[in-house]
Structure 1
Amino acid sequence: FGVPIDQMDPETRRRAKAINFGIVYGISAFGLANQLNIDQGEAGAYIKTYFERFPGIRTYMDATKALVRETGTVSTIFGRRIHIPAIQSRSAAERQFGERAAINAPIQGAAADIIRRAMMRMPGALAEAGLGTRMLLQVHDELVFEAPEAEADRAIAVIKRTMEKAAEPAVALSVPLVVEARAAANWDEAH
């Protein structure tokens, strides 16, 4: 949308996310138009512009489809293999679902791998820092903690550092992983 990130309003961000994730999941102009409540021409223009601006995404999608057709599997950046049985289906619709799943699996799988690595390291990192903070639960790419109010700021620093470095040393990410953390009386207030 040509809006600097620091000036992006919530509605524009929501639309951008719908376009970004929709394209990765194989959304059509018709589907995107319905999701954003716009006409198909505008939705088609968003999709066309997206691939013009980010041609590497089209390359990734095409290469991933070819790989899954050949091997039946894809892998995360950590090497965890994901089997996509739908790619062998007699049904064209199921094969297309398999292609979409193959495109998504390495991305979502890597995110899951990273959050798991962070969760495994977190108790030790908190104990090493002498904190009484404890991890309560995971919600997608979030971790929720319970901390004494007096140590919240120190806990946030340890949590952020542990999560941001979770991929290392197995994988050196080319784009920094940035973690947002907030302290509040409950999870809802932290958002």
Structure 2
Amino acid sequence: MEATKERARKQGYVETLFGRRIHFPDINSKNPQLRGFKERAAINAPIQGSAADIIRRAMVRMEDALRGARLDAQMLLQVHDELIFEAPKSQVEKTIRVATRVMEAAPAPALTLKVPLKVDARAADNWDEAH
């Protein structure tokens, strides 16, 4: 964490695993409260930013994967690290398999994670019931 803060202080930004930069122009502020806030944000940004990059990569690939599998499912919504779909009941299980495969493979080929990316998918009539 100290190395991340120091890098952010020197460079003015941190990077996600995919190399996307997140800038922190006030990280060297003389105001200790503002500086502390920016340092904490700089530690969190590579983690949250990398997760956001992964879900975006999955979203970009999802439509082609669903159509390629001849599914009528529609991706409706993203909520943090979740994707919400609507699918005919007869296609729910196949939609889950395709969506899971796309999401788990989202970092590739740009990045190989040291730990497997596991997706927890389930079907429900509404978002509340899915939790």
Q: TM-score, normalised by structure 1?
A: 0.68
Of residues 119, 122, 126, the one that matches 1:179 is 119
2: CA distance, partners of 1:163 / 1:86: 35
Structure ID, larger Rg: 1
1:119 aligns with 2:59: yes
Partner of 2:40 in structure 1? 100
The superposition leaves residues 134-184 of structure 1 with CA deviations (integer Å, 9 ceiling, x where unpaired) of 000000000000000001000000000000000000010111000000011
2: CA distance, partners of 1:84 / 1:176: 30
How do residues 1-150 of structure 1 correspond to structure 2 at under 5 angstroms? 61-150=1-90
SS of the residue corresponding to residue 106 of structure 2 reads coil
SS of the residue corresponding to residue 95 of structure 1 reads helix
SS of the residue corresponding to residue 50 of structure 2 reads helix
The superposition leaves residues 55-89 of structure 1 with CA deviations (integer Å, 9 ceiling, x where unpaired) of xxxxxx01101101111110000000110122032
Tell me which protein shows more strand as a share of its residues.
2
Higher relative contact order (CA 8 A, sep 6+): 2
CA-atom RMSD in angstroms = 0.6
Identity %: 62
Unaligned runs of 5+ in 1: 1-60
Query: Which runs of 4 or more aligned residues in structure 1 lie more than 4 Å from their structure 2 counterparts after TM superposition?
Result: none
2: CA distance, partners of 1:143 / 1:182: 11
Give the residue type in structure 1 aligned to 2:13.
T
The superposition leaves residues 96-150 of structure 1 with CA deviations (integer Å, 9 ceiling, x where unpaired) of 1111010000000000000000000000000000000000000000000000000
Tell me which protein shows more helix as a share of its residues.
1
Equivalences, count:
131
Give the residue type in structure 2 aligned to 1:114.
I
